[in-house]
Chain A
Amino acid sequence: MTLKTEPFVLNIGPVHPSTHGVFRMRATLDGEVIIDLEPVFGYLHRGIEKLAEERTFTGFIPLTDRLDYMASMSNNLGYVLAVEKLAGIKVPERAEYMRVILAEFQRIASHLVAVGAFFNDCGAFFTPFIYMFREREKIYDLFEMLSGQRVLYNYMRVGGFNQDMPDEFLPAARTLVNQIRHRLDEYDTLLLENEIAIARSKGVGILPKELAISVGASGPVLRASGVKWDLRKADPYSIYDRFEFDVPTGTAGDCYDRWRVRVAEMRQSVRILDQALKQVPGGPVKTYVPQFFHPPVGEAYAHIEAPKGELGFYLVSDGSIAPYRCHIRAPSFINLTALKEMVVGWKMQDLIIIFGSIDITMGEVDR
């Protein structure tokens, strides 16, 4: 007797512990196997692009914090670079070094969450996550020393920084970089040859190279699929061309490769921080920019290699104190385009892992 079956639509989210934010998926299942997936989002849409038209250029910086809220410094950096490109403002050397140092610490912090949450999804319920959060908490302490905030910093400004670093910052940063270097080795000792981690992530959720390029994927997702494209090398911004570092890439484009690329990137960030922390010059940290600042009429697009991928800001100015239009090119939003192809054919539990390995933040997806 044949068993009569029919596909079943399962709604996952938006309120769900494993969806990394308010993200909803409507998965069509045939038994346990996924045959179709429809992502639905917009639950965190706050109209940030519209709000930009009603804020001054400096007043918009706190709103950029709330895009990828796990990596606020990077969002700030992308936005102020776009405004500086629009207005032709040059930033002092000390501020450039501070920007690189903060961006790389932020990259490490964001990847610690990404890898920690990935292991949550694999079932190592919170142990690696909490281990990795020890370093993230120390990075929070460093950033709190500068900006007074642990997570949403509102620290970078058009033209540099409002206040210089306190004297304790650089020694504390150097100590922390050494600790992170050793801790990364400790995490690999615990997790690299773990057979559950390998069984659940190797060969799972493959994103082929051509699809990754066609979709416009960026960041670790693109590099794990074998494309050696990192904006810090391909289109250097700020002073990244002065530092020596490698761009780790994967080969298979599976979840394992995305994990390994993120860990390798953390090691490269440590390398950049070593160089930058030695070379910080003295001097001013801000170019004067008036409070109600009128950039010239025109448009500019500036992009950075944020931890999640290519974060870009397209700004149009009509000469007034607010942007005429601000579009945010959000890496998480665009990386999600290939989710259906990556997930179809796998089972429910793999869906959570594959989705977690793309590493998205809903603040960026919905904006």
Chain B
Amino acid sequence: MTVALSARKISEQIKARFPEAIAEVTDQPPVLRGESLFAVAEYLKSSPELAFDYLNYITAVDYFDYFELVYQLTSLTHNHTVTFKTRCYDRGKPTVPSVVRLWRGADFQEREVYDLMGINFEGHPNLKRIVLWDGFNGHPLRKDYLTQQ
């Protein structure tokens, strides 16, 4: 049975190592600061007792005031899983570091989030639209994208 690691314990573990990465420790999945995202992700992947080598998914949700990116990782060796998030408050040009260098699976998924939500991933080698065509205007999954004008 895949053990979902306690959000509070993993938040405390991350905060002990990266004090500025998490604002407050709660029972909800940790919300990381954008600048610390890559360092924390690298720690989660390379630390031997965590060993999160498998990226389940990356997705984004539009909460009007901010965009929230959700990541879920699984360790195939220890069979445990963790979810963490990060938020972008800039609606004009939301930017988040890319984790493609850690997990290749982030390649298409980050392109999809860019395409449909308009979030930029710094360090992504090929950030182009993926499911919509190149000349498309707008980012349809955003809540302010009107489907009927």
Q: Is the interface of A mostly helix, strand, loop or mixed?
A: mixed
Is A293 located at the chain interface by the 8 A CB criterion?
Answer: no
CB contacts (< 8 Å) of A236 on chain B: these are 1
Set of chain B residues within 8 Å of A144, measured between Cβ atoms: none
Contact of B76 among A229, A301, A334 (CB under 8 A): A229
- Asked if A216 and B56 sit within 8 Å, CB to CB, the answer is yes
Q: Is B46 an interface residue (CB 8 A)?
A: no
Q: Of residues 311 to 354 in A, which have CB atoms within 8 Å of B's CB atoms?
A: 312, 314, 316, 324-325, 327, 329, 333-334, 336-338
Q: Are A327 and B59 in contact (CB under 8 A)?
A: yes
The residues of A that contact B1 with a CB separation of less than 8 Å are 234-236
Contact B83 A301 (CB under 8 A): yes
| Interface size band for B | 20 to 34
Are the CB atoms of B131 and A215 closer together than 8 Å? no
Which chain A residue shows the least CB distance to B145?
A50
Q: Are A336 and B108 within 8 A (Cβ)? A: yes
- Total interface residues in chain A, CB < 8 Å: 35
Decide if B103 is an interface residue (CB 8 Å cutoff).
Answer: yes
**Could you give, for residues 23-64 of chain B, a 1 whenever the CB lies within 8 Å of some chain A CB and a 0 otherwise?**
000000000000000000000000000000111110101100
B72 in the interface (beta carbon within 8 A): yes
Shortest A42–chain B CB gap in Å is: 4
A49 touches B116 (CB 8 A): yes
Within 8 A of A (CB), among B70-119: 70, 72, 76, 79, 83, 103-105, 107-109, 112, 116
Q: Which residues of B contact A324 (CB under 8 A)?
A: 61
Question: Is the pair A329, B56 in contact by a Cβ cutoff of 8 Å?
Answer: yes
Q: State whether A327 touches B147 (Cβ < 8 A).
A: no
Mark B residues whose CB is within 8 Å of A.
Answer: 1-2, 53-57, 59, 61-62, 70, 72, 76, 79, 83, 103-105, 107-109, 112, 116, 129-133, 140-141, 147
Q: Which 5 A-B pairs have the closest CB atoms?
A: A216-B105, A235-B2, A42-B131, A327-B59, A45-B131
Can you sample 21 A-B contacts with CB below 8 Å? A42-B129, A42-B131, A45-B131, A45-B132, A49-B116, A50-B140, A50-B141, A211-B104, A213-B54, A214-B104, A216-B104, A235-B79, A236-B1, A303-B56, A314-B70, A325-B62, A327-B57, A329-B59, A334-B105, A334-B109, A366-B131
